[in-house]
Amino acid sequence: MTPRLLLALGFAAFVSASTVFAGGCSSTPATEDAGATGKICSSKANVFCRCASGEEGTKQCSDDGAGFGPCRLGESTPCGEKPDPNTGDAAVPQPTVDSSVPPTPANEKCDGQNIALNASSEVSISADTTGATDDAKGQGACAGGNGAPDHVYALTVPTTGRLTATVVADAKFAPIAYLRTACGDEAAQATCAAGLTAGQSAIVNANVIKGRPYFLVVDGAAGANQAGKYTLKLKLDPGGFCGDGEVLGDSTAGTGEACDDINKVEDDGCANSCRNFNGNPDSGKSCPGQPVHVWGSTTVSGTGTTTGFPSIWTGSTPSPRTAPAP
Protein backbone atom coordinates (compact mmCIF):
# COMPACT_ATOMS: atom_id res chain seq x y z
CA MET A 1 0.00 0.00 0.00
CA THR A 2 1.42 3.39 -0.97
CA PRO A 3 1.79 6.26 1.53
CA ARG A 4 -0.80 8.19 -0.41
CA LEU A 5 -3.44 5.45 -0.03
CA LEU A 6 -2.72 5.04 3.66
CA LEU A 7 -3.21 8.73 4.28
CA ALA A 8 -6.40 8.89 2.25
CA LEU A 9 -7.93 5.97 4.16
CA GLY A 10 -6.83 7.42 7.48
CA PHE A 11 -8.54 10.74 6.85
CA ALA A 12 -11.78 9.07 5.76
CA ALA A 13 -12.91 8.71 9.36
CA PHE A 14 -12.40 12.36 10.29
CA VAL A 15 -13.34 14.57 7.34
CA SER A 16 -16.97 15.48 6.66
CA ALA A 17 -18.78 14.12 3.61
CA SER A 18 -18.97 17.58 2.03
CA THR A 19 -15.15 17.81 1.91
CA VAL A 20 -13.33 16.47 -1.15
CA PHE A 21 -9.98 14.95 -0.17
CA ALA A 22 -7.65 12.94 -2.31
CA GLY A 23 -4.02 12.45 -3.05
CA GLY A 24 -2.76 12.42 0.54
CA CYS A 25 1.04 12.38 0.27
CA SER A 26 1.07 12.93 -3.49
CA SER A 27 2.07 16.34 -4.85
CA THR A 28 -0.50 15.85 -7.62
CA PRO A 29 -3.66 17.81 -6.90
CA ALA A 30 -6.93 15.96 -6.53
CA THR A 31 -8.42 17.91 -9.42
CA GLU A 32 -6.76 19.42 -12.44
CA ASP A 33 -7.70 21.72 -15.26
CA ALA A 34 -9.86 19.41 -17.37
CA GLY A 35 -9.64 21.79 -20.32
CA ALA A 36 -5.85 21.55 -20.44
CA THR A 37 -5.27 17.87 -19.61
CA GLY A 38 -8.64 16.13 -19.96
CA LYS A 39 -8.34 15.01 -16.33
CA ILE A 40 -10.66 15.99 -13.52
CA CYS A 41 -8.90 14.05 -10.72
CA SER A 42 -5.66 12.30 -9.82
CA SER A 43 -5.45 8.65 -10.86
CA LYS A 44 -6.34 6.24 -8.00
CA ALA A 45 -7.15 9.12 -5.63
CA ASN A 46 -10.01 8.48 -3.19
CA VAL A 47 -12.46 11.27 -2.41
CA PHE A 48 -15.45 11.54 -0.17
CA CYS A 49 -19.00 11.25 -1.50
CA ARG A 50 -22.50 10.86 -0.13
CA CYS A 51 -24.56 7.79 -0.94
CA ALA A 52 -28.18 8.08 -2.06
CA SER A 53 -29.10 6.73 1.37
CA GLY A 54 -27.34 9.69 3.01
CA GLU A 55 -24.40 7.66 4.27
CA GLU A 56 -20.83 8.93 3.86
CA GLY A 57 -18.71 6.98 1.39
CA THR A 58 -15.70 7.28 -0.92
CA LYS A 59 -15.18 7.05 -4.65
CA GLN A 60 -11.95 6.42 -6.52
CA CYS A 61 -10.55 8.37 -9.46
CA SER A 62 -10.16 6.28 -12.60
CA ASP A 63 -6.76 5.34 -14.05
CA ASP A 64 -6.96 8.02 -16.74
CA GLY A 65 -8.16 10.66 -14.28
CA ALA A 66 -11.19 11.40 -16.47
CA GLY A 67 -13.84 10.35 -13.97
CA PHE A 68 -14.76 8.57 -10.74
CA GLY A 69 -16.00 5.11 -9.90
CA PRO A 70 -19.26 4.56 -7.98
CA CYS A 71 -19.67 5.85 -4.44
CA ARG A 72 -18.98 3.02 -1.97
CA LEU A 73 -18.92 2.35 1.76
CA GLY A 74 -15.70 0.37 1.53
CA GLU A 75 -13.54 -1.48 -0.95
CA SER A 76 -16.31 -4.02 -1.73
CA THR A 77 -19.49 -2.57 -0.25
CA PRO A 78 -21.84 -0.70 -2.58
CA CYS A 79 -23.72 2.35 -1.32
CA GLY A 80 -26.90 1.58 0.56
CA GLU A 81 -25.57 -1.69 2.08
CA LYS A 82 -24.08 -1.55 5.53
CA PRO A 83 -21.01 -3.77 6.04
CA ASP A 84 -20.99 -6.48 8.70
CA PRO A 85 -19.38 -4.85 11.79
CA ASN A 86 -17.58 -8.10 12.63
CA THR A 87 -16.11 -9.04 9.24
CA GLY A 88 -16.34 -5.83 7.22
CA ASP A 89 -18.01 -7.78 4.42
CA ALA A 90 -21.02 -6.42 2.62
CA ALA A 91 -24.32 -7.46 4.08
CA VAL A 92 -26.20 -10.07 2.06
CA PRO A 93 -29.36 -8.48 0.64
CA GLN A 94 -32.43 -9.97 2.33
CA PRO A 95 -35.47 -10.97 0.29
CA THR A 96 -38.38 -8.62 0.45
CA VAL A 97 -41.15 -9.95 2.69
CA ASP A 98 -44.71 -9.13 1.76
CA SER A 99 -46.13 -8.02 5.09
CA SER A 100 -49.65 -8.27 3.67
CA VAL A 101 -49.34 -12.09 3.50
CA PRO A 102 -49.27 -13.60 7.01
CA PRO A 103 -46.90 -16.55 7.59
CA THR A 104 -48.39 -20.06 7.65
CA PRO A 105 -49.09 -21.09 11.28
CA ALA A 106 -47.00 -24.03 12.49
CA ASN A 107 -50.09 -26.09 13.32
CA GLU A 108 -51.22 -26.13 9.68
CA LYS A 109 -48.44 -28.37 8.37
CA CYS A 110 -46.11 -31.18 9.44
CA ASP A 111 -44.28 -31.38 11.75
CA GLY A 112 -46.91 -29.30 13.50
CA GLN A 113 -46.87 -26.87 16.39
CA ASN A 114 -44.57 -28.01 19.21
CA ILE A 115 -46.35 -28.64 22.50
CA ALA A 116 -44.46 -29.76 25.63
CA LEU A 117 -46.60 -31.96 27.85
CA ASN A 118 -46.48 -31.40 31.58
CA ALA A 119 -46.55 -34.30 34.01
CA SER A 120 -47.89 -32.13 36.81
CA SER A 121 -50.56 -29.97 35.13
CA GLU A 122 -52.90 -29.81 32.15
CA VAL A 123 -51.87 -27.98 28.98
CA SER A 124 -54.65 -25.98 27.27
CA ILE A 125 -54.61 -24.48 23.75
CA SER A 126 -57.38 -22.55 21.97
CA ALA A 127 -57.52 -22.40 18.18
CA ASP A 128 -59.82 -22.27 15.15
CA THR A 129 -59.58 -24.50 12.06
CA THR A 130 -61.68 -22.11 9.99
CA GLY A 131 -59.63 -21.20 6.92
CA ALA A 132 -56.93 -23.81 7.63
CA THR A 133 -55.72 -26.17 4.91
CA ASP A 134 -56.60 -29.85 4.60
CA ASP A 135 -53.25 -31.65 4.97
CA ALA A 136 -53.79 -34.69 7.19
CA LYS A 137 -55.80 -37.78 6.29
CA GLY A 138 -57.25 -40.00 8.99
CA GLN A 139 -57.64 -43.77 8.83
CA GLY A 140 -60.59 -46.00 9.69
CA ALA A 141 -63.31 -44.08 11.50
CA CYS A 142 -61.20 -40.92 11.27
CA ALA A 143 -61.22 -41.03 7.46
CA GLY A 144 -64.42 -38.96 7.72
CA GLY A 145 -62.23 -35.91 8.20
CA ASN A 146 -60.74 -36.12 4.70
CA GLY A 147 -61.49 -32.85 2.95
CA ALA A 148 -61.90 -30.86 6.16
CA PRO A 149 -59.34 -28.32 7.45
CA ASP A 150 -57.09 -29.59 10.24
CA HIS A 151 -54.40 -28.68 12.77
CA VAL A 152 -51.34 -30.73 13.78
CA TYR A 153 -49.53 -30.68 17.13
CA ALA A 154 -46.12 -32.27 17.79
CA LEU A 155 -46.11 -33.51 21.39
CA THR A 156 -42.98 -33.63 23.52
CA VAL A 157 -43.37 -36.41 26.11
CA PRO A 158 -41.24 -35.82 29.25
CA THR A 159 -42.16 -39.08 30.97
CA THR A 160 -43.84 -42.40 30.17
CA GLY A 161 -47.52 -42.45 31.03
CA ARG A 162 -51.14 -42.16 29.93
CA LEU A 163 -52.13 -39.29 27.62
CA THR A 164 -55.64 -37.86 27.55
CA ALA A 165 -56.26 -35.36 24.75
CA THR A 166 -59.66 -33.68 24.80
CA VAL A 167 -60.91 -31.47 21.95
CA VAL A 168 -63.68 -29.28 23.41
CA ALA A 169 -65.53 -28.13 20.29
CA ASP A 170 -67.55 -25.01 19.58
CA ALA A 171 -71.31 -25.55 19.17
CA LYS A 172 -70.96 -25.44 15.37
CA PHE A 173 -67.90 -27.70 15.07
CA ALA A 174 -67.99 -31.53 14.80
CA PRO A 175 -64.43 -32.58 15.74
CA ILE A 176 -62.35 -35.60 14.82
CA ALA A 177 -59.02 -36.29 16.55
CA TYR A 178 -56.34 -38.91 16.02
CA LEU A 179 -52.83 -39.64 17.29
CA ARG A 180 -49.90 -40.65 15.06
CA THR A 181 -46.35 -41.76 15.72
CA ALA A 182 -45.13 -40.17 12.44
CA CYS A 183 -46.54 -36.88 11.21
CA GLY A 184 -46.74 -37.54 7.49
CA ASP A 185 -47.56 -41.26 7.65
CA GLU A 186 -51.27 -42.10 7.61
CA ALA A 187 -50.50 -45.72 8.51
CA ALA A 188 -48.83 -44.54 11.74
CA GLN A 189 -52.21 -43.67 13.28
CA ALA A 190 -52.33 -45.10 16.80
CA THR A 191 -55.81 -44.15 17.99
CA CYS A 192 -58.84 -42.17 16.85
CA ALA A 193 -61.89 -40.32 18.20
CA ALA A 194 -64.65 -39.78 15.61
CA GLY A 195 -68.39 -40.12 14.95
CA LEU A 196 -69.24 -36.97 16.86
CA THR A 197 -71.84 -34.30 16.25
CA ALA A 198 -71.36 -30.53 16.46
CA GLY A 199 -70.46 -29.36 19.94
CA GLN A 200 -69.36 -32.76 21.24
CA SER A 201 -65.85 -33.30 22.62
CA ALA A 202 -63.40 -35.69 20.97
CA ILE A 203 -61.34 -37.61 23.53
CA VAL A 204 -58.17 -39.52 22.64
CA ASN A 205 -56.57 -41.82 25.22
CA ALA A 206 -53.22 -43.45 24.57
CA ASN A 207 -50.18 -44.82 26.35
CA VAL A 208 -47.09 -42.79 25.42
CA ILE A 209 -43.39 -43.46 25.99
CA LYS A 210 -40.86 -40.84 27.06
CA GLY A 211 -38.84 -39.32 24.22
CA ARG A 212 -40.85 -40.88 21.39
CA PRO A 213 -42.55 -38.72 18.71
CA TYR A 214 -46.32 -38.27 18.79
CA PHE A 215 -48.50 -36.07 16.58
CA LEU A 216 -52.07 -35.14 17.45
CA VAL A 217 -54.33 -34.08 14.58
CA VAL A 218 -57.46 -32.03 15.20
CA ASP A 219 -59.71 -32.55 12.18
CA GLY A 220 -63.38 -32.07 11.41
CA ALA A 221 -66.19 -34.19 10.02
CA ALA A 222 -66.66 -33.30 6.36
CA GLY A 223 -69.79 -31.28 5.79
CA ALA A 224 -71.45 -28.21 7.25
CA ASN A 225 -69.68 -28.54 10.63
CA GLN A 226 -66.19 -29.40 9.39
CA ALA A 227 -64.39 -26.39 10.91
CA GLY A 228 -64.62 -24.14 13.92
CA LYS A 229 -63.21 -23.03 17.24
CA TYR A 230 -61.99 -25.49 19.85
CA THR A 231 -59.96 -25.83 23.02
CA LEU A 232 -57.41 -28.65 23.17
CA LYS A 233 -56.68 -29.98 26.66
CA LEU A 234 -53.69 -32.29 27.14
CA LYS A 235 -53.15 -34.26 30.35
CA LEU A 236 -50.30 -36.69 31.03
CA ASP A 237 -50.52 -39.13 33.94
CA PRO A 238 -47.05 -40.63 34.61
CA GLY A 239 -46.69 -44.36 35.06
CA GLY A 240 -45.38 -47.52 33.46
CA PHE A 241 -47.50 -49.93 31.41
CA CYS A 242 -47.24 -53.17 29.48
CA GLY A 243 -45.63 -52.21 26.19
CA ASP A 244 -43.33 -49.43 27.39
CA GLY A 245 -40.21 -51.60 27.14
CA GLU A 246 -39.59 -51.64 30.89
CA VAL A 247 -40.29 -54.83 32.88
CA LEU A 248 -42.30 -53.67 35.88
CA GLY A 249 -41.89 -55.34 39.26
CA ASP A 250 -44.37 -55.98 42.08
CA SER A 251 -43.98 -52.50 43.57
CA THR A 252 -45.02 -50.64 40.42
CA ALA A 253 -47.42 -53.00 38.64
CA GLY A 254 -49.21 -54.75 41.50
CA THR A 255 -48.14 -58.01 39.93
CA GLY A 256 -44.78 -58.28 38.24
CA GLU A 257 -44.33 -58.45 34.48
CA ALA A 258 -42.48 -61.44 33.04
CA CYS A 259 -41.42 -59.55 29.91
CA ASP A 260 -42.04 -56.40 27.83
CA ASP A 261 -41.11 -56.32 24.14
CA ILE A 262 -42.90 -53.03 23.28
CA ASN A 263 -45.48 -54.62 20.98
CA LYS A 264 -48.85 -56.34 20.89
CA VAL A 265 -47.87 -59.44 18.93
CA GLU A 266 -48.65 -62.84 20.42
CA ASP A 267 -46.33 -65.83 20.16
CA ASP A 268 -43.22 -63.70 19.64
CA GLY A 269 -41.75 -64.62 23.01
CA CYS A 270 -43.79 -62.24 25.20
CA ALA A 271 -47.57 -62.33 25.67
CA ASN A 272 -49.69 -59.22 25.18
CA SER A 273 -50.34 -59.13 28.92
CA CYS A 274 -46.57 -59.03 29.68
CA ARG A 275 -47.36 -61.58 32.41
CA ASN A 276 -46.41 -64.69 30.47
CA PHE A 277 -43.98 -65.82 27.79
CA ASN A 278 -45.21 -67.69 24.73
CA GLY A 279 -44.29 -68.80 21.23
CA ASN A 280 -40.98 -69.68 19.72
CA PRO A 281 -38.93 -66.52 19.37
CA ASP A 282 -35.58 -66.49 17.58
CA SER A 283 -33.97 -65.42 20.84
CA GLY A 284 -34.77 -68.87 22.21
CA LYS A 285 -32.56 -70.58 19.63
CA SER A 286 -29.29 -69.59 21.25
CA CYS A 287 -27.79 -68.30 24.48
CA PRO A 288 -28.64 -66.31 26.49
CA GLY A 289 -32.18 -67.20 25.36
CA GLN A 290 -35.53 -65.47 25.82
CA PRO A 291 -35.45 -63.24 28.93
CA VAL A 292 -38.11 -63.97 31.55
CA HIS A 293 -38.47 -62.15 34.85
CA VAL A 294 -39.81 -63.85 37.95
CA TRP A 295 -40.95 -61.82 40.97
CA GLY A 296 -41.86 -62.81 44.51
CA SER A 297 -45.38 -64.26 44.88
CA THR A 298 -45.81 -64.17 41.08
CA THR A 299 -46.30 -67.30 38.96
CA VAL A 300 -44.99 -67.07 35.42
CA SER A 301 -46.07 -69.60 32.82
CA GLY A 302 -45.58 -69.99 29.08
CA THR A 303 -46.18 -72.15 26.07
CA GLY A 304 -44.01 -73.16 23.15
CA THR A 305 -42.49 -76.00 21.22
CA THR A 306 -38.99 -77.20 20.43
CA THR A 307 -39.98 -78.22 16.92
CA GLY A 308 -37.64 -76.63 14.43
CA PHE A 309 -35.20 -75.49 17.11
CA PRO A 310 -31.55 -76.56 16.92
CA SER A 311 -29.83 -78.72 19.51
CA ILE A 312 -27.30 -76.47 21.19
CA TRP A 313 -26.75 -78.35 24.45
CA THR A 314 -24.24 -81.19 24.63
CA GLY A 315 -23.56 -83.46 27.53
CA SER A 316 -20.42 -85.33 28.56
CA THR A 317 -19.66 -88.57 30.39
CA PRO A 318 -17.82 -87.99 33.65
CA SER A 319 -14.37 -89.60 33.89
CA PRO A 320 -14.29 -92.73 36.11
CA ARG A 321 -12.72 -92.29 39.50
CA THR A 322 -10.26 -94.64 41.06
CA ALA A 323 -11.04 -95.60 44.61
CA PRO A 324 -8.33 -94.62 47.03
CA ALA A 325 -6.11 -97.37 48.38
CA PRO A 326 -7.17 -98.72 51.77
Tens of pLDDT, residue by residue over 206-239, are 999 999 999 999 999 988 899 999 999 999 999 9
Read off φ and ψ for residue 161, nearest 5 degrees: 175, -160
Class of domain 107-238: mainly beta
Q: Mean pLDDT over all residues of the chain? A: 79
pTM above 0.85, yes or no: no
Give the pLDDT confidence score for residue 254 in this predicted structure.
Answer: 56
In terms of Cα–Cα distance, which of 85, 86, 214 is closest to 160? Answer: 214
Q: How is the chain split into domains, by residue range?
A: 1-84, 107-238, 244-303
Taking residues 79-105, report their average pLDDT. 61
- Check whether the bond before 244 is cis (ω within 30° of 0): no
According to the model, what pLDDT value does residue 23 have?
37
pLDDT tens readout for residues 163-219: 999 999 999 999 999 999 999 999 999 999 998 899 999 999 999 999 999 999 999
- pLDDT of the residue at 79: 76
